[in-house]
Amino acid sequence: MDAEDIAGYRLYNQWISCPGKSSPEKVVSNLGAIQAQDYLASLWAVGLRSSCIKQSDVQEAVERRKVIRTWTMRGTWHLALPENIRWMLSLYPEDRQVPGYQARNGLTGPTLERGLEIIPKAFSEETRLTYDEIGEYLKRSGITPLGKTEVQRHIIRRAGRKGIICFDGHKGRQPAFALMDDIVPKAKPLTKKEAITKFATIYFKSHGPATVKDFAWWSGLRMSDAKLGAEAAAHGLRKKEFNGETYLMPNGRPRGNHDGVYLLPAFDEYIISYRDRSAVLEPRYAKRIIGGTTLSFLPMVISDGKVVGTWKRREDKGKVIVTLSPFGKPPEGREKKAIRDATVAYGEFLGKPVMLM
């Protein structure tokens, strides 16, 4: 197996090179979870993996709670199926530590615990609340070191990671939250081994070829737990070697084709879900896909399995303008046409005309 094989298999197993007529929830089910702190980007991450859905279809799936957006792996926003949320969250031990930024702004462990106890009471009169509404309730309840919005939101995020609340659509333009018990059906709990095995099976079948280190990074599990999951799932997987590492991938899948050009959204699973990205991203370009001062992965152009540039969008008079920033020379010939075709597909998903600049 070589780097081109890895790219081809991943494009295939992630349903990028072979999008079928899948519903949003089926796409999310295949991947297990899709990173979603950039909400609009996560909608396109679902859309590009199906040949028949529009942005409105994905939004509707979230609004109708067929897909849930909440904090799962790595304490980060993800889209996941409601039946998977609880066992996913059960794998992460409760973190009672207060990060340095919040501690410097007055948040203590006891205050955090009290805030987590108070948040459910905020929903006694309204079933859906925004960040600001929850924050205001915390203030009225005597949670005082909340002069900075980020400190308020840290308590709210921790409530999500603890399974108290989760995203539930929007109120106006603001994200809204509901009590998880009100919108996520309870299910028979899995043992830790069952949950880790299920997690590993989903990951390697949808993201393979991948290593145990990749799985540990994506899942946020301890390496010992990641190894346990990989070993338990291995009977349904096959092994391949590359650069001295063992890669796990599904059995019985045809070889993926790495040909093709794709416009991937920010934080897409094709790049974010691997610790070692060198098979599809040349190390010299790694910093060019990270925007700002935080770990923010920009929208990427994929050609023949490789990340060859970034792109951005802006709206102008009802049109979406897509601007490319290639790593090398500007695309031409077949590649340029393929990029135009990819922008047309993006426009069809949005339901708006798209111009490539």
Cα angle, residue 67 at apex, residues 289 and 95 outer, rounded to 5°: 70
CA 91 to CA 43: how far, in whole Å?
A: 26
Last-in-domain residue among 151, 168, 183: 183
Q: Indicate whether 1 belongs to any domain.
A: no
Q: Which helix (H) or strand (E) holds 42?
A: helix 39-47
Q: Indicate whether 212 belongs to any domain.
A: no
CATH of the domain at 123: 1.10.10.10
Q: Indicate whether 248 belongs to any domain.
A: no
Q: Indicate whether 86 belongs to any domain.
A: no
Last-in-domain residue among 183, 215, 245: 183
Q: Indicate whether 158 belongs to any domain.
A: yes
pTM (two decimals): 0.93
Choose among 189, 143, 181: nearest CA to 162.
181
Q: Indicate whether 295 belongs to any domain.
A: yes
Would you list the DSSP string of 268-289?
-HHHHT-S--TTTS-GGGGGGG
In the chain, the number of structural domains is 2
Q: Indicate whether 26 belongs to any domain.
A: no
Last-in-domain residue among 159, 183, 207: 183
Each of the 357 residues of the chain gets a pLDDT tens digit; together they read 888 999 999 999 999 999 999 999 999 999 999 999 999 999 999 999 999 999 999 999 999 999 999 999 988 999 999 999 999 999 988 776 777 777 777 788 888 899 999 999 999 989 999 999 998 898 888 876 555 677 788 889 999 999 999 999 999 889 999 999 999 999 889 999 999 999 999 999 999 999 999 999 999 999 999 999 999 999 889 999 999 999 999 987 666 667 889 999 999 999 999 999 999 999 999 999 987 655 679 999 999 999 999 999 998 888 999 999 999 888 888 888 999 999 999 999 999 999 898
Q: Indicate whether 29 belongs to any domain.
A: no
What residue numbers bound the domain in which 339 lies? Answer: 277-356
